Chain A
């Protein structure tokens, strides 16, 4: 499925500090560690982030987003070898000459909303030492035909091209995945899709999608995902929704009789990947949609003899109580329903 290894650029830190200028240094360092541990090849930062971190952790590799030439000195001091910049700055000869002298790899940022804009993209003349382009946007790319346009453009210009898809129309992860499957040079994402005007492709969705669909011989695990989620919440104050794909705390909760029966026999009947892959575990709820077998299982779990009860009658009581509460029942509520 993958032709060449696509580098993953994670821009969570940059987006966090832009929106939360008071973000704590220790929280940012934890995020660094977590994102690198998950597999990010480059963490994108800017001078604001660098100012907070002060010293960069040695185990992570960084991409510095440059706004002006004076920011390059800090790159040299900190050993940062890669930078990103808006195409407008290509006209800044001092800046471009400094990049060349420092031997840095420069990613030039352009924008295209869809295939039409991509095919009409005006790429400014690139200095010979600049061989990376990053295209932001593609929000309106409705299918994978954009890939061929990018590949043709890359051949035409003799550069490597990657993307940073926007999530205005809820397809950023799909587009990022297409980039990885096509073996494009790089793809830029952020954790939980944090940032951008309408969100970005989600780091965790792309990583787990590749793991689930690619089925490699050596299995990666993403046990650190819950910890990284907490880091992001701590640094930004945002709450990760319970049903957020891959990292939501409720995504492995189940109740419906048919699903529960399937999961008991073979979890893969109703799970795309095991909860352990993403550092979570399964939880069975008892409620309106439960079946007989789930009730029996719960009784055993609570240490209550099944033989005393007529399962259908008990199921009916549980369903009634669940409808009254408009949710599933807690263990103590199940005991009350049973009369224990």
Chain B
């Protein structure tokens, strides 16, 4: 069983209300994350411009072992900003629930399908590995979810991120969703859990049981509202319940976590 951690402290974690990192701190944290053997660091959102974009662009110079990815809307303008930063992976986030599509964006499902196709092609033509995020997947119509994934898959995307954006999933349903996706399509699945009902770690373990190979975490579980899947808690749960990560020096990882959280604390 191989589990790869995608750390989104520098993107979703930093979106916690009241958190703000400058270039120096983002680069420090990236180095520390790299020391935790994180497979992929989601560095941030280049389309924000300014210091955010500069810090992501500088990350390449660090020569990290972790792969660097950027977060983008399904918008070619966002991809152009990302391209300036030369990431290893361009992550595209597509809203897939009708609540998000209609109420937030005032669009329809066809618009999502068309723009998924267009932006995946755009990013692929520029030579990037592309992953597709399914925002609010847990409240989406499953058949439409499959349609979106299939659209991306046909354009060469082989990893999708299942996002429980408002943290309402429970283990049994999550297992059925992830398994359902894997039964229908030969895609790798990445799980992105939120902790609104206290089940982000439990759900992430369930995702692994269903065949997800990538798990999104943040340091200290920080993130929007009640946060994301807590990295160290996930490691502990995976060690205890799945029998993996036994070689990990948890004490050393705990110290690194504390160092990162200290960097993120507000200035006095």
Whether A171 lies near B205 (C-beta < 8 A) is yes
Q: Which residues of chain B are near A143, meaning CB under 8 Å? A: 171-172, 175, 206, 209
Whether A208 lies near B197 (C-beta < 8 A) is yes
Contact with B along A307-325 (1 / 0, CB 8 A): 0000000001001101111
Contacts A170-B201, A246-B197, A256-B15 known; A212 to B99 CB distance under 8 Å? no
Whether A323 lies near B22 (C-beta < 8 A) is yes
Whether B221 lies near A323 (C-beta < 8 A) is no
A-B contact pairs, 7 of them (CB 8 A): A169-B240, A212-B168, A245-B196, A246-B226, A251-B196, A289-B15, A327-B266
B211-244 contacts to A, CB under 8 A, are: 221-227, 230, 233, 236-237, 240-242
Whether B20 lies near A266 (C-beta < 8 A) is no
Say yes or no: is A178 at the interface (Cβ < 8 Å to chain B): yes
Say yes or no: is A140 at the interface (Cβ < 8 Å to chain B): yes
Q: Which residues of chain A are near B126, meaning CB under 8 Å? A: none
Q: Which of these, B18, B103, B221, B222, contacts A266 with CB under 8 Å?
A: B103
Complexed CA–CA distance, A171 and B264 (Å) = 27
Nearest-CB distance from A269 to chain B (Å)? 5
Q: Which residues of chain A are near B16, meaning CB under 8 Å? A: 243
Complexed CA–CA distance, A202 and B196 (Å) = 12
Contacts A170-B236, A251-B226, A262-B104 known; A144 to B18 CB distance under 8 Å? no
Size of B's binding interface in residues, CB under 8 A? 57
Contact with B along A275-294 (1 / 0, CB 8 A): 00000000101011100000
Whether A327 lies near B224 (C-beta < 8 A) is no
Say yes or no: is B195 at the interface (Cβ < 8 Å to chain A): yes
Complexed CA–CA distance, A289 and B16 (Å) = 9
Q: Which of these, A139, A170, A174, contacts B233 with CB under 8 Å?
A: A170
Residue of A nearest to B14 (CB): A289
CB-CB nearest 7 A-B residue pairs: A174-B202, A171-B202, A253-B17, A288-B20, A327-B266, A266-B103, A170-B201
Whether B172 lies near A178 (C-beta < 8 A) is yes
Whether A142 lies near B104 (C-beta < 8 A) is no
Contact with A along B1-17 (1 / 0, CB 8 A): 00000000000001111
**Beyond A323-B22, A327-B266: 15 further Cβ-contacts under 8 Å?**
A170-B201, A171-B241, A174-B171, A209-B199, A245-B196, A246-B198, A254-B224, A269-B103, A270-B224, A271-B166, A287-B19, A324-B267, A325-B20, A326-B20, A326-B267
Nearest-CB distance from B53 to chain A (Å)? 12
Say yes or no: is A136 at the interface (Cβ < 8 Å to chain B): no
Nearest-CB distance from A241 to chain B (Å)? 9
Whether B240 lies near A243 (C-beta < 8 A) is no
Q: Which of these, A174, A261, A287, contacts B20 with CB under 8 Å?
A: A287
Whether B196 lies near A174 (C-beta < 8 A) is no
Whether A328 lies near B206 (C-beta < 8 A) is no
Q: Please report the number of residue pairs spanning A and B whose Cβ atoms sit closer than 8 angstroms.
A: 183
Complexed CA–CA distance, A336 and B52 (Å) = 23
Whether B236 lies near A202 (C-beta < 8 A) is no
A133-149 contacts to B, CB under 8 A, are: 139-140, 142-144
Interface residues of A (CB under 8 A from B): 139-140, 142-144, 168-171, 173-175, 177-178, 181, 193, 202, 205, 208-209, 212-213, 243-246, 248, 250-256, 258-259, 261-262, 265-266, 268-273, 283, 285, 287-289, 316, 319-320, 322-328
Nearest-CB distance from B125 to chain A (Å)? 26
Whether B195 lies near A245 (C-beta < 8 A) is yes
Nearest-CB distance from B206 to chain A (Å)? 6
Residue of B nearest to A144 (CB): B172
Whether B199 lies near A174 (C-beta < 8 A) is yes
Contacts A171-B201, A174-B171, A272-B166 known; A325 to B100 CB distance under 8 Å? no
Whether A325 lies near B266 (C-beta < 8 A) is yes
Whether B21 lies near A169 (C-beta < 8 A) is no
Q: Which residues of chain B are near A272, meaning CB under 8 Å? A: 166-168, 196-197
Say yes or no: is B141 at the interface (Cβ < 8 Å to chain A): no
Residue of A nearest to B241 (CB): A142
Nearest-CB distance from A22 to chain B (Å)? 29
Contact with A along B138-179 (1 / 0, CB 8 A): 000000000000000000000000000111101110010000
